[in-house]
């Protein structure tokens, strides 16, 4: 796994699949299908040094190539997310190829459950984008390895992000509270909406955007609504991406007008080596995504372990300390925080091998 910066390297998906799998040292790339139900699923298991793999199962109307790209990258991030927060699990991710807006038959969901069960616990999962909690209940009729009985992990993730923002504001701006701090939140879903509530309660000045305008309506009198295309350009203290990944790319990075990037979205940087270095050079402090949004892993693992979800909220208290360690080492070595976070997580994985 050891390579420069430990950052994810985008493989050439059109190449030999075994070569694609080996670029970031994934252990398994699994394709599943069921002709009767129409199920098509692609699963990547990255690294199981710390324990059995865990990661969400999402449904998306995408090409096979795009699905492979998603499972490879997101499973890689999950490995490091589990390691950094000291959870004894590895990283995985599954994408079901199909239109999530169309009704899903019980036969289809049962086939998905059968696929998960056939792996014998090597893949511990919960529903992600495109699949609902009701879907999870039907899937669970056929497998004991899906965990969503206690709801979505968005609330727990948001609490961790909020604590991470407070720590990052303290580190970068010297403010021990969020009163008057301006935060631009992109994406008002399960994570973003909870984060906005916490920010408003903390006295922050909040800007919000989402591709679905109806999600913004309840905040019309307490936050400033801007377009989704403009949110990253807003002059602010903190830009908090909580929607799609790769929002920081060649086109957007020079348009940023923030001092801090700290949000719940996964894979925020299109090129983790180049864009992390560019942000560092620009003087923008980036809270590594797989650190600040690790609360979601804590939530899921509470279900796996059979303990109350309150333990997950408590474990998010670790996030500020981890970020502080990352920032201190980053400053000392003049290395982007994301690269430092990968190093720390990698050290934990390697110590398990000894």
Q: Which domains does the chain have, with CATH numbers?
A: 4-139 (3.40.50.10860), 154-342 (3.40.50.720)
Mean pLDDT of 282-308: 86
What is the spatial distance between Cα 133 and Cα 139, in angstroms, rounded to a whole number?
10
Q: How confident is the model at residue 354 (pLDDT cuts 50, 70, 90)?
A: low
pLDDT, the chain, mean: 92
Give yes or no for residue 152 having a pLDDT over 70.
no
What is the spatial distance between Cα 328 and Cα 219, in angstroms, rounded to a whole number?
36
Query: What are the residue ranges of helices labelled H in the chain?
Result: 17-23, 64-84, 106-118, 133-139, 154-173, 190-201, 272-282, 289-292, 295-305, 310-315, 318-333, 337-353
* pTM to 2 decimal places: 0.90
Q: Which two tokens stand for residue 307?
A: 């303990």
* CA 323 and chain centroid, separation: 16
From residue 286, give the alpha-carbon distance in Å to each of 173, 292, 344, 348. Answer: 13, 10, 16, 22
Give yes or no for residue 63 having a pLDDT over 90.
yes
User: DSSP state, 354?
Assistant: -
270 is catalytic: no
Closest by CA position to 46, among listed 299, 354, 346: 346
**List 81, 93, 104, 166, catalytic entry:** 93
pLDDT attached to residue 5: 75
Mean pLDDT of 333-353: 94
């Amino acid at each position: 796994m050891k390579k420069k910066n430990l950052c994810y390297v985008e493989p050439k998906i059109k190449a030999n699949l075994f070569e694609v799998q080996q670029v970031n040292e994934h252990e398994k790339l699994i394709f599943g299908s069921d002709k009767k139900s129409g199920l098509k699923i692609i699963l990547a298991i990255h690294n199981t040094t710390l324990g059995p793999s865990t990661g969400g199962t999402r449904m998306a109307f995408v090409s096979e190539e795009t699905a492979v790209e998603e499972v490879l990258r997101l499973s890689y991030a999950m490995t490091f997310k589990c390691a950094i927060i000291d959870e004894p699990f590895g990283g995985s991710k599954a994408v079901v190829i199909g239109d999530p807006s169309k009704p899903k038959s019980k036969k289809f969901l049962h086939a998905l459950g059968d696929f998960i069960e056939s792996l014998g616990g090597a893949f511990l999962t919960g529903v992600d984008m495109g699949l609902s909690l009701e879907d999870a209940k039907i899937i669970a009729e056929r497998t004991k390895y899906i965990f969503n009985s206690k709801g979505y992990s968005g609330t727990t993730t948001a609490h961790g992000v909020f604590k991470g923002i407070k720590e990052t504001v303290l580190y970068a701006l010297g403010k021990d509270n969020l009163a008057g701090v301006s935060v631009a939140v992109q994406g008002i879903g399960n994570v973003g909406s909870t984060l906005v509530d916490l920010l408003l309660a903390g006295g922050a000045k909040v800007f919000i955007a989402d591709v679905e305008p109806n999600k913004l309506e309840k905040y019309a009198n307490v936050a400033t609504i801007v377009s989704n295309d403009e949110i990253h350009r807003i002059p602010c203290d903190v830009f908090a991406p909580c929607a799609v990944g790769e929002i920081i790319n060649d086109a957007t990075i020079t348009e940023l007008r923030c001092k801090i990037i700290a949000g719940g979205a996964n894979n925020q940087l299109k090129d983790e080596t180049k864009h992390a270095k560019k942000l560092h050079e620009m003087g923008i402090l980036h809270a590594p995504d797989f650190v600040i949004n690790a609360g979601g892993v804590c939530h899921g693992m509470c279900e796996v372990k059979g303990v109350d979800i309150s333990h997950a909220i408590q474990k998010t208290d670790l996030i500020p300390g981890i970020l502080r360690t990352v920032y201190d080492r980053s400053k000392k070595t003049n290395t982007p925080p994301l690269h430092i976070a990968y190093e720390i997580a990698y050290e934990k994985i390697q110590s398990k091998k000894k």
